[in-house]
């Protein structure tokens, strides 16, 4: 396929999606990664991939191939036995970035941070003062609030948490919380004292949602988080942990109406158990939804782009 055609990447990606079907492998354009639990299985998986490459008349560049690695760099992230980690070489330069002096520099910084969004709890809330600067007709002012947001993001990037790989044979725990202006959620697996984060998510409430009652906002947080993590949790057992006790009644309403009826119907598509936990035990989700900023709250959710490759469940 000739380079430079507008639809060439999408066409080639469709080919690779077909190529990886029924293989223990994933591909992003011409970057293929083969995943195996043991060395012996890895050898068998490699043989299967090589044979299929031959069938498709595709070739791999030997100098760019790495075999039997316990730690491999893939799409500027490190895939290790512990989970998915940020590449420290990419982030060492982040600490040297000076404070932005104009809107273009703010946009560039936010784009860099957005790539690692899934590693940063409450990214949209932390970045809000900087995002406000990129709005049209906004007068440029660099105050303590913007500086704090800038510094916090840099610190989060330099020492991000390690995200664990999802195990689709085990149940999930979803912790959610809602404040008067934002929603927060974290997807976890493991026992109480050994819960490992799979992914973080947060978003701001729009002007209509900020008028919801407390129970409605908490219910919205659950419905939004379930749909946000649907690719991970669909078909699995899920415990939804919230510090809002009336939320447990949502699944038991005999004649719900309005938006509560729509949400209750959406919840029925998941194998979930609603569980009340005290607020002091819901630290992460609570923090994701409750950072205090004085700036005006935007009327829409900020959208960023991230590429995520959850493990495929066995078929």
Per-residue pLDDT, 91: 60
Structure confidence by residue, pLDDT tens digits, 106-143: 988 888 787 767 777 788 888 989 999 998 888 899 99
Per-residue pLDDT, 82: 73
Residue 304 burial (C-beta neighbours within 10 Å; 0-12, 13-18, 19+): middle
Per-residue pLDDT, 283: 45
Per-residue pLDDT, 51: 93
CATH of span 172-290: 3.30.420.10
- Domain boundaries for CATH 3.30.70.270 within the chain: 7-86, 92-158
Q: For residues 75 and 28, is the Cβ–Cβ distance under 8 A? A: yes
- Domain boundaries for CATH 3.30.420.10 within the chain: 172-290
Please list the ranges in the chain whose pLDDT falls under 50. 281, 283-284, 287-288, 291-315
Strands 172-178 and 237-242: parallel
Per-residue pLDDT, 313: 46
Q: For residues 188 and 197, is the Cβ–Cβ distance under 8 A? A: yes
- Domain 7-86 fold: Alpha-Beta Plaits (3.30.70)
Per-residue pLDDT, 253: 66
The domain made up of 92-158 is a member of CATH 1.10.3720.10: no
Structure confidence by residue, pLDDT tens digits, 197-245: 888 788 888 899 999 988 889 889 999 999 999 888 888 889 988 777 7
Average pLDDT, the chain: 78
């Amino acid at each position: 396929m000739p380079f430079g055609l507008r639809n060439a990447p999408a066409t080639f990606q469709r080919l690779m999606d077909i190529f990886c079907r029924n293989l223990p492998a994933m591909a992003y354009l011409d970057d293929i990664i083969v995943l195996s639990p043991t060395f012996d299985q890895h050898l068998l998986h490699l043989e299967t991939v090589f044979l299929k490459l031959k069938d498709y008349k595709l070739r791999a560049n030997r100098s760019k191939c790495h075999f039997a690695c316990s730690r491999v760099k893939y799409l500027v992230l490190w895939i290790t036995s512990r989970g998915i980690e940020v590449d420290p070489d990419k982030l060492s330069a982040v600490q040297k970035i000076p404070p932005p002096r104009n809107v273009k520099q703010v946009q560039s910084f936010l784009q860099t941070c957005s790539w690692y969004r899934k590693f940063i709890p409450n990214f949209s809330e932390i970045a809000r003062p900087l995002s406000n600067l990129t709005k049209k007709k906004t007068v440029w002012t660099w105050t303590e609030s913007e500086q704090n947001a800038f510094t916090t993001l840099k610190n989060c990037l330099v020492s991000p948490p390690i995200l664990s790989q999802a195990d689709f044979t085990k149940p999930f725990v979803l912790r959610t919380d809602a404040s008067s202006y934002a929603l927060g959620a974290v997807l976890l697996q493991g026992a109480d004292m050994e819960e490992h984060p799979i992914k973080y998510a947060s978003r701001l409430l729009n002007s209509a949602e900020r008028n919801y009652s407390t129970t409605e906002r908490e219910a919205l947080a659950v419905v939004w988080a379930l749909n946000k993590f649907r690719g991970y949790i669909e078909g699995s057992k899920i415990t939804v942990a919230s510090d809002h006790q009336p939320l447990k009644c949502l699944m038991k309403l005999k004649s719900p109406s309005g938006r509560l009826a729509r949400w209750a119907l959406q919840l029925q598509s998941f194998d979930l158990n609603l569980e009340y936990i005290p607020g002091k035990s819901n630290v992460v989700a609570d923090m994701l939804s409750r950072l205090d900023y004085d700036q005006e709250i935007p009327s829409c959710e900020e959208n960023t782009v991230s590429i995520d490759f959850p493990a495929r469940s066995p078929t």
